[in-house]
Homo-oligomer: A and B are copies of this chain.
Amino acid sequence: MARVPSTWFMEFVTPDTIQQFAVKDILYFGRSKYQTVEVIETVSFGKCLILDGKIQSCEKDEFIYHEALVHPAMILHPNPETVFIAGGGEGATLREVLAHKTVKRVVMVDIDAEVIDICQRLLPAHQQGSFDDPRVELLHRDAREYLAETRERFDVIIIDLPDPIEGGPAYLLYTQKFYQLLRSKLIANGALALQAGSTRLNETKVCTAVNNTLKTIFPIVATYETDIPSFGGPWGFSLASLKFDPFELSSGEIDGRIGGRVGKRLDFYDGQTHQGLFFIPKYLRDAMARETMVISEDNPVFIP
């Protein structure tokens, strides 16, 4: 008898790379105002959110992505009290932020209310009640417009947006202008973390261009990566900081801060993981060093 179902999720990771996962159940297929939305249950990764055919995150391995996105910036900051999140509709980025007991206020702006509603109903393990936390203000708006209007500034900003796609709107949030706006919304010790796309060999353009563009604005920029199994390879993140350097934190200091502040068990991130994250392979450092592109609205970057 067959060991797995006959039904497979299929994703063109790039125009010449496909990944497929066996599927046990389809919980949702529809279209929101902004995108095609699917929630499926895979054999390997449990329940997954799919937007426009691309995996956003899966129950079984989302802890890697969300811990990697949130904790390096949060731990780097000596006392993060106010946090801004752009995107992150599943609620898991919010969940990791709220785990820091220092946090008093989180503003989360995600344009697609339908996706958040679907995730709340069908992916409860992602948000785990985070949207009900009284520290959270949730807005369904364009993040860039909101930040341009608000006078509020934050200790930490987390950008959890889809990749920049030709013809899509997200690419405007991958520009020098937007990063300048983000810097202006950070308080003195502030740190910014963002997902920067695939770091698979030969697909690193978005990541290196984001890194280079951030360097024109922030005094400290570090790119780090880790493998996200359901994304089909290693993923890049950027940490941009006004004052503190992630390379100067020892494993012991990190474990101490986690112990003092974080009110939940972490499965991915700790002091040793931090070292592994920031010591990236030579070919990726070389690609960073060669990169000269500064991303602007007139000279944008897209995934292939």
Contacts and interface: CB of A to CB of B under 8 A. Distances in A.
Interface of A: 1-11, 14-26, 29, 31, 35-36, 38, 40, 42-44, 50, 52-53, 60-61, 63-64, 200-202, 226-227, 229, 232-234, 266-270, 272-283, 285-286
Nearest to A35: B1
A24 B26 contact: yes
Contacts of A14: 44
A201 B1 contact: no
Contact of A10 (B7, B42, B270, B283): B7
15 contacts: A2-B36, A7-B23, A7-B40, A8-B8, A8-B9, A8-B10, A16-B42, A17-B20, A18-B20, A20-B20, A23-B26, A24-B29, A232-B233, A272-B282, A275-B275
Contacts of A3: 15
A52 B3 CA distance: 10
Contacts of A10: 6-8
A2 B4 CA distance: 20
Number of copies: 4
Q: Which of A3, A24, A63, A233 has the most CB of B within 10 A?
A: A233
A81 B273 CA distance: 34
Nearest to A251: B279
Main secondary structure of the interface of A (DSSP, over half): mixed
Given A20-B20, A26-B23, A229-B200, A6 B50 contact: yes
A187 to B, nearest CB: 30
Contacts of A282: 266-270, 272-273
A2 B8 CA distance: 17
A201 B229 contact: yes
Contacts of A23: 7, 23, 26
Nearest to A234: B227
Nearest to A21: B17
Q: Which of A29, A267, A281 has the most CB of B within 10 A?
A: A281
Contact of A6 (B11, B17, B227, B266): B11
A269 to B, nearest CB: 7
A177 to B, nearest CB: 28
A233 B200 CA distance: 10
Contacts of A227: 200, 227, 233-234
Contacts of A20: 8, 17-20
